[in-house]
Amino acid sequence: MSSRTHIAILMHDTLAAQGLKSIVENQFAATVHVVETEEQLMAQPADWADFIVTDAAHFVSQLPYFLPRQARTIVVAAHQAAPAPAGVTVINPHDDLDSLLTQLGRCLRTDAAAQATATPALSQRETEVLRLIASGKINKEIAGELHISLNTVLTHRKNITSKLDIKSVSGLTFYAMMNGLV
């Protein structure tokens, strides 16, 4: 890396946060700030940290804060109950040091453009259709609300399921919720 990466760490476990800070500062060209509360993190300007490392509890409790920053969020979680939102990296604190360094290095060396291409972007209309699917609307209702034909709705649904590789309505709804679309 040519310039120093700024990383914020917000974790309930102070010892883990300080240990992670030490590891990252010793292994990468990074400036690490450990913040003690969610309020301290949210008081900072939106772009003050290149990456935010947090534990699963903080991630879930502050989902509206983290979702817009998902490409810059690294969640430390020993157990992953559900798939992480697209763009969010999850690392297991129980992995060996070499594996952790590899995972962190991959995250810290990945630029925003590469992360943006990892998840196919939905068009604005596809996002609207997905939002309506997640709110429980059927195809005919979506067509009426968006003033488009039923065939157009079906085409959008086909494109959405193809891009996201999610076939069920419940899966699409979960995706929409986890990505802040509903």
What is the per-residue pLDDT for 33? 94
Same domain for 109 and 138?
A: no
User: Distances in Å between the alpha carbon of 135 and those of 95, 129, 156, 173, 181?
Assistant: 39, 10, 16, 8, 10
User: What CATH number did the domain enclosing 173 receive?
Assistant: 1.10.10.10
- The count of structural domains within the chain is 2
Burial of 47 (0-12, 13-18, 19+ CB in 10 A): exposed
The residue-averaged pLDDT of 27-37 equals 90
Same domain, 11 and 29: yes
Better-scored residue on pLDDT, 178 or 19: 19
Are residues 65 and 132 located together in one domain of the fold? no
Q: How far apart are CA 30 and CA 95, in angstroms?
A: 22
- Predicted pLDDT at 120: 65
Flag whether pLDDT at 56 surpasses 50.
Answer: yes
Q: Is the same domain home to 106 and 49?
A: yes
129 and 166 part of one domain: yes
131 with 59, same domain: the answer is no
Final residue of a domain: which of 118, 135, 159? Answer: 118
> Which of 16-20, 85-89, 98-102, 125-129 has the least mean pLDDT?
85-89
Name the maximum alpha-carbon separation found in the chain.
Answer: 58
- DSSP designation for 167: -
Q: What is the pLDDT of residues 67-124, one digit of tens each?
A: 888 888 899 988 765 666 667 888 888 888 888 888 888 887 654 444 444 456 888 8
Same domain for 108 and 163? no
Q: Do 112 and 135 belong together in one domain? A: no
Say if residue 168 is in the same domain as residue 87: no
CATH of the domain at 11: 3.40.50.2300
- Pair 72, 135 in one domain: no
CB contact at 8 A, 43 and 51: no
What is the residue range of 98's domain?
5-118
In a shared domain, residues 113 and 139: no
- The whole-number average pLDDT for the span 14-20 is 93
Mean pLDDT for 58-66 is 87
The residue count for the chain? 182
Residues 22 and 65 in one domain: yes
Residue 86 has a pLDDT of 66
Does residue 132 surpass a pLDDT of 90? yes
